Amino acid sequence: VVIGMSAIENAKLIGLDWGSTSLRAFLIGGDGLPLETRTGPHGASTLSGADAYVQVLNDIAGDWIAARPDLPLLACGMVGSKHGWKDVPYQNCPANADKLATGLQWVPGAAVKIVPGLLHITGEDTPELMRGEETQIVGALGLDPELAQGAVIVLPGTHSKWAQVAGGVVQDFATYMTGEMFAVLRGHSVLGKLLPETLPKVSSDDDQTDFLRGVVAARDFGDLGLTHQLFAVRSLGVTDKLSSVGLLNYLSGLLIGHELRSALVWRDKAGLTTAPIVLVGDVNLCQRYQLALQSYGQAVKSILPDASPVGLWQVAVKAGLVK
Amino acid sequence: VVIGMSAIENAKLIGLDWGSTSLRAFLIGGDGLPLETRTGPHGASTLSGADAYVQVLNDIAGDWIAARPDLPLLACGMVGSKHGWKDVPYQNCPANADKLATGLQWVPGAAVKIVPGLLHITGEDTPELMRGEETQIVGALGLDPELAQGAVIVLPGTHSKWAQVAGGVVQDFATYMTGEMFAVLRGHSVLGKLLPETLPKVSSDDDQTDFLRGVVAARDFGDLGLTHQLFAVRSLGVTDKLSSVGLLNYLSGLLIGHELRSALVWRDKAGLTTAPIVLVGDVNLCQRYQLALQSYGQAVKSILPDASPVGLWQVAVKAGLVK
């Protein structure tokens, strides 16, 4: 690996977004933006024991550390969970970058600090949890300071997170197991038998029509139940009303449509009906959510694909790790 | 196998409830009740080609057929699907035993007739399908003729079916993939890591409390979404609020609670709010549903564990196969 000389010279922080299934390392400059980004497959769920983490860290960023041993290292994500490198206790909502900074913990024997996740006891009297997304939310607030006045920040994914921001602080958040539900139904349920192997992109007009048909079914008839509506993926296939790819887009639309239906109720209960909505994460997936939100009459203010490095930077600043 | 002599002498019909994953054979008497019942593992999903069906039929009922070659044979279930022994076209709702009888088809080259399934285009403009349950519903109406005046007949299972009966006729029905969702989430999602291997029964007070906590969460906060509430199975486990068995009961309660929440909306829209509710099928599962229905203030008129043979009998009578 050849490091850009100006990048390494200008770097102020090494950031790590270390999730369950993947790792991204950032060489971060003085504006909080990444000068260089590297990606690796060694998520926390694939690693066991401190030596394994040290090895993976050296593989992905050893040359950065050797060239600039003065740079602080800050990590977020499942690396800080009970089954990660070091169990870092959750912070409670309401929370912002300052609060995350107060909860940083050193990994014993390593020059790495880890950002805590967030825990919130909801109005339903059940706990909500996130690790990693709190840093992306702080990053979104760094990238668009107007959001501090009030926003709904949505991070679509395996476990989608919706966060309510007011007064620059995360007040509440909610998880939707949309991506995981899509994967297990496709891979392991009777619905999967009718579906194609590959993940569809909403690329053609037909794909968009089938996806939106699922979204609209959730929007207009969602009170009849997700587990009921999912059966239509089978019945529309058995009766030859939709192609295999069409069924997969329809399934995606149903699941995302149900997520939106529920999350918008939750948002409205919090009085954030007119707050801007921002999507954070993979652009293709965010565009799918944007399309679905349009069916609900909801505009998206922006899509932010890369909020982690800025979030790590914000927390590092508040913690005094960088100036 | 030794056949009871009086049973075989008194028999009027050989009935087969031949589903995807199991087969039950009934020697049925003149009152429609089974004189003898046999169970086998060779569901339609395990069989391919007519010879395989002939073999399984001979294994489970060959002695009955040899002793009483005059008895008609009538089958229901996935044996009549596209991937079964013979594809028997669906009948449309509204439907009763008479209509099912008009749709019977012979299996080519075998002395077996198969009951058609039902297809219904719902108010959501998606098809609903059943094969096998239509015969159980007709059986329930045979066992309790009062239900013909108006009833909601519920068949809990992998794909639970709810049927609206009025004027002795199935007017509409709806599927809920509750049992399959339970199985795939337990076996293949992140939730499964926290759950025990064995299926819980609601046997202790603690089990009942955890199950009902899930039901009540669905009842009171279900508008916040099933895929959201499912994440609580994880968060309650990670934060040590519920034991492994407790989480499994909670998951079961959430899923059944969401089924009831949705199905009762569907029932009320049809004006059947005061109609009796009858549960058909496995007694343990039906008792779990009964408990959950109590949380919704809904009484159950009766649990009918064995409606298939009576249903086959009703259809055979209407078709003139028996007198």
* Min distance A218 CA to chain B CA atoms (Å): 10
For residue range A155-186, list pLDDT tens digits in order.
999 999 999 999 999 999 999 999 999 999 99
- B241/A contact by beta carbon, under 8 A: yes
Q: Using an 8 Å Cβ cutoff, are A319 and A101 in contact?
A: yes
For residue range A74-115, list pLDDT tens digits in order.
999 999 999 999 999 999 999 999 999 999 999 998 999 999
- A89/B contact by beta carbon, under 8 A: no
Confidence at B123, pLDDT banded by 50, 70, 90: confident
Backbone angles phi, psi at B106, to 5 degrees: -70, 140
- A186/B contact by beta carbon, under 8 A: no
Backbone angles phi, psi at A289, to 5 degrees: -65, -40
What's the CA gap between A93 and B158, in Å, rounded?
39
Query: Nearest chain B Cα to A222, which residue?
Result: B262
The answer, yes or no, to whether residue A42 has pLDDT greater than 80, is: yes
The answer, yes or no, to whether residue B306 has pLDDT greater than 80, is: yes
Which of B231, B250, B268 is the best mutation test for A, with the most CBs of A within 10 A?
B231
The pLDDT value recorded for residue B124 is 87
Q: Could you tell me the CA-to-CA distances from B11 to B14, B33, B35, B64, B322 in Å, in that order?
A: 8, 10, 7, 9, 11
Q: Residue B270 is encoded by which pair of tokens? A: 């049809």
Which of B133, B185, B227, B256 is the best mutation test for A, with the most CBs of A within 10 A?
B227
A-chain CB neighbours of B228 within 8 Å are: 174-177, 259, 262-263, 266
Query: CA torsion, points A177, A182, A185, A187, in degrees to nearest 10?
Result: -120
What's the CA gap between B55 and B60, in Å, rounded?
9
- B259/A contact by beta carbon, under 8 A: yes
What's the CA gap between A143 and A153, in Å, rounded?
13
- Pick the closest to residue A255 from A320, A153, A160, A321 (CA basis): A160
Q: Could you tell me the CA-to-CA distances from B17 to A115, B116, B135 in Å, in that order?
A: 58, 12, 9
For residue range B216-262, list pLDDT tens digits in order.
999 999 999 999 999 999 999 999 999 999 999 999 999 999 999 99
Q: Residue A219 is encoded by which pair of tokens? A: 């929007």
Q: Using an 8 Å Cβ cutoff, are B137 and B165 in contact?
A: yes
- B261/A contact by beta carbon, under 8 A: yes
- Indicate yes or no: CB of B188 within 8 angstroms of CB of A188: yes
For residue range B194-224, list pLDDT tens digits in order.
998 776 667 788 889 999 999 999 999 999 9
Q: Using an 8 Å Cβ cutoff, are B258 and B133 in contact?
A: no
Letter string b/e over residues A151-180, b meaning 16 or more CB atoms within 10 A of that residue's CB: bbbbbbbbbbbbbbbbebbbbbbbbbbbbb
Name residue B85's beta-bridge partners: none
Selected residues 118-147 of chain A with any CB under 8 Å from a CB in chain B = 119, 123-124, 126-129
Strands (E), A8-150: 13-18, 23-28, 34-40, 73-76, 91-92, 105-106, 112-114, 118-121, 127-130
In whole angstroms, what separates CA B67 from the centre of its chain? Answer: 31
Strands (E), B117-249: 118-121, 127-130, 151-155, 160-166, 169-176
The pLDDT value recorded for residue B3 is 63
Work out the angle at residue B26's Cα, subtended by the Cα atoms of residues B20 and B28, and round it to the nearest 5 degrees.
145
What's the CA gap between B315 and B321, in Å, rounded?
9
Q: Residue A218 is encoded by which pair of tokens? A: 């959730």
- Indicate yes or no: CB of B174 within 8 angstroms of CB of A224: yes
B188 closest CB neighbour out of A159, A187, A229: A187
The answer, yes or no, to whether residue B190 has pLDDT greater than 70, is: yes
Confidence at A3, pLDDT banded by 50, 70, 90: low
- Indicate yes or no: CB of B177 within 8 angstroms of CB of A230: yes
Query: Nearest chain B Cα to A254, which residue?
Result: B227
The conformation of residue B306, written as its DSSP 8-state character, comes to: -
The pLDDT value recorded for residue A86 is 97
Helices (H), chain A: 5-10, 50-67, 97-102, 133-143, 178-188, 205-221, 226-238, 244-269, 283-295, 308-318
Query: Nearest chain B Cα to A218, which residue?
Result: B124
Query: Nearest chain A Cα to B228, which residue?
Result: A176
Contacts of A283 (CB under 8 A, 6+ apart): A303, A305
The answer, yes or no, to whether residue B63 has pLDDT greater than 60, is: yes
Amino acid at A118: L
* Min distance B205 CA to chain A CA atoms (Å): 21
Residue pairs between chains A and B whose CB atoms are closer than 8 Å: 148
Q: What strand order describes the sheet that includes A105-106?
A: A34-40, A23-28, A13-18, A73-76, A112-114, A105-106
A181 closest CB neighbour out of B127, B176, B227: B227
* Min distance B305 CA to chain A CA atoms (Å): 23
- Indicate yes or no: CB of A231 within 8 angstroms of CB of B176: yes
A259 closest CB neighbour out of B176, B220, B227: B227
Categorise residue A77: left if φ over 0, alpha if ψ from -120 to 50, beta otherwise: left
- Indicate yes or no: CB of B189 within 8 angstroms of CB of A184: yes
- B161/A contact by beta carbon, under 8 A: no
* Min distance B53 CA to chain A CA atoms (Å): 22
Q: Percentage of residues in chain B with pLDDT exceeding 90? A: 92
The pLDDT value recorded for residue A206 is 82
The pLDDT value recorded for residue A201 is 67
Q: Residue B255 is encoded by which pair of tokens? A: 């899923």
Coil, helix or strand at residue B58: helix
Q: What is the mean pLDDT of residues A243-264?
A: 97
ipTM of the complex: 0.94
Q: Could you tell me the CA-to-CA distances from B160 to A42, A172, A241, B152, B180 in Å, in that order?
A: 41, 35, 23, 13, 9
Backbone angles phi, psi at B16, to 5 degrees: -130, 120
* Min distance A177 CA to chain B CA atoms (Å): 5
Confidence at A2, pLDDT banded by 50, 70, 90: low
- Indicate yes or no: CB of A184 within 8 angstroms of CB of B185: yes
- A231/B contact by beta carbon, under 8 A: yes
- A148/B contact by beta carbon, under 8 A: no
- Indicate yes or no: CB of A226 within 8 angstroms of CB of B129: no
What's the CA gap between A123 and B37, in Å, rounded?
51
Q: What is the mean pLDDT of residues B279-293?
A: 97
Q: What is the mean pLDDT of residues A148-161?
A: 97
- Indicate yes or no: CB of A129 within 8 angstroms of CB of B190: no
Q: Could you tell me the CA-to-CA distances from B87 to A40, B115, B117, B304, B306 in Å, in that order?
A: 51, 11, 10, 29, 25
Q: Using an 8 Å Cβ cutoff, are A167 and A147 in contact?
A: no
